[in-house]
Amino acid sequence: KAGVTQTPRYLIKTRGQQVTLSCSPISGHRSVSWYQQTPGQGLQFLFEYFSETQRNKGNFPGRFSGRQFSNSRSEMNVSTLELGDSALYLCASSLTSGGGYNEQFFGPGTRLTVL
């Protein structure tokens, strides 16, 4: 079974631009979560989607948004990019949502660099 895939793997943008990252979960998984990883702040939860609905949201500004499609694929969008948005963005999928005990399978991440 294929793992979680994220595209693109690397991205370079300039301040003020917007960016869209894509995540395809493991087949059959319906929950997708997004995390931001930076050297300064570590791994931080962005949001979780399940059945096309946002179930939980982390403490990030409204410039960060996401959505999930009927096939469980998810995208996250960052508008008006800032230098501090440079990070590794990780997507994780799990079978279902809400339990807390569901194993989350992580993709390789998208490395975003903002110049």
Partner 1 sequence: AQSVTQLDSQVPVFEEAPVELRCNYSSSVSVYLFWYVQYPNQGLQLLLKYLSGSTLVKGINGFEAEFNKSQTSFHLRKPSVHISDTAEYFCAVSATGFQKLVFGTGTRLLVSP
**Positions that interact with partner 1 (CB under 8 A):** 4, 31, 33, 35, 42-45, 48, 50, 55-56, 58, 90, 92, 94, 97-109
The minimum distance between CB 84 and partner 1, in angstroms, equals 18
Query: Structure tokens of 88?
Result: 């590794």
Least Å distance, CB 29 to partner 1, is 12
Cα atoms in the 13 Å half-sphere on the side-chain side of 91: 34
For partner 1, the closer of residues 14 and 35 by Cβ is 35
| Residue 51 exposure: Cα atoms within 13 Å on the Cβ side | 3
Which run of H or of E encompasses 47? strand 42-50
In the complex, least distance from residue 75 CB atom to partner 1, rounded to whole angstroms = 18
CA 72 to chain centre: 13
CB of 49 to partner 1, least distance (A): 10
Whole-angstrom Cα distance, residue 20 to residue 66?
9
The residue (of 54 and 77) whose beta carbon lies closer to partner 1 is 54
> 16 or 61: whose CB is closer to partner 1?
61
> How far apart, in whole angstroms, are the C-alpha atoms of residue 107 and residue 26?
10
In the complex with partner 1, the residue whose CB is nearer, 18 or 53, is 53
